[in-house]
Amino acid sequence: MPQKNKIHIMGASGSGTTSIAAQLCKAIGYQHFDTDDFYWHKTSPPYIAARETQERQRLLSAQLTANNQWVLSGSLCGWGDLFIPFFDLVIYVYVKNDVRVERLRQREFARYGEAIFSEGELGEKYQTFIQWAAAYDTSTEISRNAYKHRKWLENIGCPVVEITNHTTCDAAVERIITHIRHTAC
């Protein structure tokens, strides 16, 4: 079995894909890329201005082709199908909805503080984001959802491994490393 040099880790918002990928890269010495860095323009506050599809594809392609060993975290559904042939392994991270939403609440509070509870623009964006993220398992209408992810995974030609991340990133990373070692034999 060939070595897993190009790994994509995907899942719902709050499932830990970015944290798992970053920790995995530290453990195995690979370059880490996150789809949010290509999808969104750098703004303050972040995540308010999306790049055009062709621009994000061009930027991501430049990074993935310039590096031989990498882990890409985040979702590509709807704009990144051209990268499917790059992958040696895809990890789908699943987390129960209540666990994910609580993680997202904590993350957003750490980023923005009490302002997310205001009646202003930031509070409105926070509520909209949490409602969007909470609908992952139940809605097929939102942009990132379980149905769309599972359908997208059907088109993947490399091995796909599903893991749950209900405990720690350490546990998830260890399971991925164990899988890579096991399949490399």
Tokens of 20: 């798992």
52-99 pLDDT per residue, tens: 999 999 999 999 999 999 999 999 988 999 999 999 999 999 999 999
User: How would you classify the pairing of strands 6-11 and 31-34?
Assistant: unpaired
pLDDT at 174 over 90: yes
In angstroms, the Cα distances linking 103 to 14, 63, 70, 82, 124 are 6, 29, 26, 31, 19
Average pLDDT in the chain: 92
Q: How far apart are CA 179 and CA 107, in angstroms?
A: 29
- CATH T-level assignment (fold) for domain 6-96+145-184: Rossmann fold (3.40.50)
Percent of the chain with pLDDT over 70: 98
Section 110-123 average pLDDT = 89
Section 125-137 average pLDDT = 94
Q: How far apart are CA 184 and CA 2, in angstroms?
A: 6
Q: What's the pLDDT at 184?
A: 63
Spatial neighbors of 140 by CB under 8 A, at least 6 apart, are 147, 148
